[in-house]
């Protein structure tokens, strides 16, 4: 549960962490099912609200994206 929370931070920022990673996406679905979808979304509500904020500077986002992707590979 702690690990999924760490991966949800970049998701909230718009980074497609689980996209193109079937094993990681399957793990995400297993964790979500074990916790329960409603509770899972409630637990990550604040993180996911970041998506509603104005977009980050695209230059900074592009600089950070490779670092985030490297950390999860």
Average pLDDT, the chain: 87
Band the pLDDT of 23: cuts 50, 70, 90. very high
Cα 55-5-47 angle, rounded to 5 deg: 30
Count of structural domains within the chain: 1
Q: CB-based burial of residue 15 (10 Å sphere; 0-12 exposed, 13-18 middle, 19+ buried)?
A: middle
Band the pLDDT of 31: cuts 50, 70, 90. very high
Q: What is the C-alpha separation between 27 and 4, in angstroms, rounded?
A: 9
Q: pTM here?
A: 0.66
Residue-range definition of the domain harbouring residue 37:
1-72
Q: Check whether 56 has a pLDDT greater than 80.
A: no
Indicate which CATH number applies to the domain containing 62: 1.20.1050.10
**Interval 3-19 mean pLDDT:** 88
């Amino acid at each position: 549960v702690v690990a999924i929370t760490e991966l949800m931070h970049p998701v909230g920022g718009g980074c497609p962490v689980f996209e193109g990673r079937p094993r990681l996406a399957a793990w995400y679905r297993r964790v979500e099912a074990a916790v329960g979808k409603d509770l899972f979304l409630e637990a990550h509500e604040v993180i996911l609200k970041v998506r509603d904020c104005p977009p980050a500077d695209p230059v900074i986002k592009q600089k950070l994206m490779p670092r985030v992707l490297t950390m999860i590979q």
